[in-house]
Structure 1
């Protein structure tokens, strides 16, 4: 396993990682790989949309109400006819097709920053 190059604390501080709660999950039929279109409540930051390739481990129904962690300061990314506004964080399985979402171990307020 290769480790990425060392970064500085200032590099890490550029990432704005926040807690949010998934409020909707729909099939993303126009995506190249099986994905969901998510709407995530980030509290005072508002609701952001994301495309996530998490269909192998999660159903749409079990995602509703789930707290997750996401990077919220990437530029919008267009995927087919959809604009993804944040990057939901997860851990890849061995084949990189299964993604386990990163979640707070206890409930936290939406929009809280990771640091």
Structure 2
């Protein structure tokens, strides 16, 4: 496994990673790869939408109320007819389709910063 090029502390400080809670999950039938459309509550930052390829390990009903961490300062990305506003972070399994969502080990307030 190759490590990516070194970045500076200033580069890292530009990434805004926050905790949030998934409040709705829908199938994303128009996506190229199997995905869900998520709505995530980030507290004072509001509710943001995300397209997430997490269908192999997670059922919709078990995602409701799950706390996650996501990058919230990417520009909106159009995927089919949907605008993704944040990137939910996860770890790839042995099969890259098996994405394990990163989440806080203890409950946190929505919108708290990772650092």
Q: CA deviation at 1:87?
A: 0.2
Q: CA deviation at 1:27?
A: 0.2
**How many aligned positions are there?**
115
Which segments of structure 1 move beyond 2 Å, counting only runs of 4 or more? none
* Structure 1 alignment gaps of length 5 or more: none
Query: What is the TM-score of this pair, normalised by structure 1?
Result: 0.99
Matches within 5 A, 1:60-99: 60-99=60-99
Q: CA deviation at 1:95?
A: 2.0
CA-to-partner distance for each residue in 1:37-96, whole Å, 9 max, x for gaps? 000000000000000000000000000000000000000000000000000000001221
RMSD (CA atoms): 0.4
Aligned residue number for residue 45 of structure 2: 45
Query: What is the TM-score of this pair, normalised by structure 2?
Result: 0.99
* Structure 2 alignment gaps of length 5 or more: none
